[in-house]
Amino acid sequence: MRLTTKGRFAVTAMLDLALRQENGPVTLSGVAERQRISLSYLEQLFGKLRRQELVASVRGPGGGYCLARDMSTISVADIIAAVDEPMDATQCGGKENCHDEHRCMTHDLWSSLSQRMFDYLNSVTLHDLMTQQRERTSHRVVLHERDARHAAPDAVEVQF
């Protein structure tokens, strides 16, 4: 499991989505502007996120992206795996770079290590990240209710 800025961008963008989807679909251009990520790059990432069915898209004016599942069921590992595709980890599918008994050593070592890395990332959900972030900040939080899905009639400025 690689941990690169690519995955970071994806998680950041997904968090932005999570925080704003109550007002309906969120446009990529909005995410791009707020998070300072190139729009075209976001399009690439969200193409993958959509194919992994982490987000759903709505075309046309007023369209954008929504989370495809409840945010408590979307883990950081899901997001990173979606954009960082291979997630190979062991690097030697039984072929070269490994030989004799040494093969097993390296192989088992890394698969167990990356398994635990994965387990951790898999245990952190988008919902956790939101909650965690809101607890940490002392900024004004206009939108504070946790389960009020349709509580915002107009555009609500969420500061976080």
> Do 22 and 143 contact (CB within 8 A), yes or no?
yes
Among residues 148, 125, 146, which one has the least CA distance to residue 135?
146
Q: What angle do CA 25, 55, 57 make, to 5 degrees?
A: 50
> Do 80 and 66 contact (CB within 8 A), yes or no?
no
Instruction: Write out the residues near a copy of itself by the rule CB under 8 A.
Output: 1-5, 8, 11-12, 15, 34-36, 76, 91, 96-99, 101-102, 104-106, 108-110, 112-114, 116-117, 120, 124, 129, 132-133, 136-137, 139, 159-160
Q: Shortest distance, CB of residue 59 to a copy of itself, whole angstroms?
A: 27
59: its two tokens: 């075309």
Distance CA 102, CA 111 (A): 14
* Interaction pattern, residues 77-106, with DNA; x per rule: CB under 7 A: -------x-x--------------------
Q: What angle do CA 106, 112, 115 make, to 5 degrees?
A: 130
Q: Shortest distance, CB of residue 66 to DNA, whole angstroms?
A: 10
Q: Shortest distance, CB of residue 44 to a copy of itself, whole angstroms?
A: 18
> What's the sign of the alpha-carbon dihedral 124, 125, 131, 134?
positive
Three-class SS state of 42: helix
Nearer to a copy of itself, 68 or 124 (CB): 124
* Interaction pattern, residues 28-67, with DNA; x per rule: CB under 7 A: xx-------xxxxx-xx-xx--x------xxxxxxxxx--
Q: Shortest distance, CB of residue 82 to DNA, whole angstroms?
A: 13
Residues contributing to the site for DNA (CB under 7 A)? 2, 4-6, 9, 25-29, 37-41, 43-44, 46-47, 50, 57-65, 84, 86
